[in-house]
Every structure is written in C-alpha cells, then in structure tokens.
Amino acid sequence: MNYNRLKKAYEDWLATSPSPVNDAAFIAWMSANVSSARTTISGDDLLDQLVLADYAAFAAPQRELFNTLTLKEALNVAPGTGTRSILSALFPNPSDTRTNLIALITSDRSEPRHSTYSIGPVGQPHIERLRADGRIG
C-alpha cells in the first residue's frame, strides 16, 4: 500500500465529503465505482483497433514503428503525449483505424476509485496505520 497516495485520497475525500465523516464512509467511497477517461491503452488494444487496409498502406518504417507500439504493455495516449502524436501521424484523417482508436480512447471506463489513486482496496487496517504514522488525525 502506498500510504502517501492513500493520504492524498483521504484528503480529497475530506474536502468533498458530506457528514458524517467516519472510516466506514471513507472505505465505501474508495470502493465505489467512478468513470474516468482512458489515458493508457495496451499494445493489444492498439492491435485490436487496427483495420488491415490501413496497415497495408504503411511504408516499411511505419510498419516497424506500429509493430513496436503493439509490443508495449501500456501506451500513454493522454492528450499532448508523444504516443498520441505518433498515432495521429500513423493514422491521419480519414482512417478507419483512427476512428476506432478515438472511440476507444474517449470511452469512459468504470473502475473502483482506489484504482484511480493507483492503490489497492482500502480497509480499516490501512486507515489505522495512517493515524499511527501521524498522516491523518
């Protein structure tokens, strides 16, 4: 458990939480599903969106670059990233693959809130350790 991230989550919760403020309410908040925009995709996700005609039109260097991207476990596709720029260059408008990628990247996904903080499920022992360490009151 990353207790610095857990402390940040606790502070975020306190800033927005209605009364009563108690450990059970925080644990429930951390377990609730939330929607978030997708900022990463896997190489497999990229390959699944590929339309063969778009790949067939690639020159050898483009194919090599695309193949390299598909080997990655996680690709950061947040706006302004290099990977997003590369994908935009590989699949200019109009392109069926680009349309598929945009649909994938802009789709909301639902996951437990604790995942958005990159920590595992939160339980009472975690909160007690935050208190024992003096990180929360």
Listed by start position, the domains of the chain span 3-37+111-132, 41-106
Helices 96-106 and 82-90, packing angle to 10 deg: 150
Compute the distance between CA of residue 121 and CA of residue 137 in angstroms, rounded to an integer.
21
- Beta strand segments in 24-133, E: 33-37, 40-41, 75-76, 108-112
Phi, psi at 22, each rounded to 5°: -150, 165
Q: What is the pLDDT along the chain (137 residues), one digit of tens a residue?
A: 888 888 988 888 888 877 778 888 888 888 887 766 678 889 999 999 999 999 999 999 999 999 999 999 889 998 899 999 999 999 998 899 999 999 888 877 777 787 778 788 899 999 999 999 888 87
Token pair listed for 12: 């975020």
- Amino acid letter for position 31: S
pLDDT at 113: 82
pLDDT at 36: 67
Residues shown for the chain: 137
Compute the distance between CA of residue 4 and CA of residue 9 in angstroms, rounded to an integer.
9
pLDDT at 20: 73
Residues 3 and 133: beta-carbon distance below 8 Å: yes
**Eight-class DSSP state of 73:** S
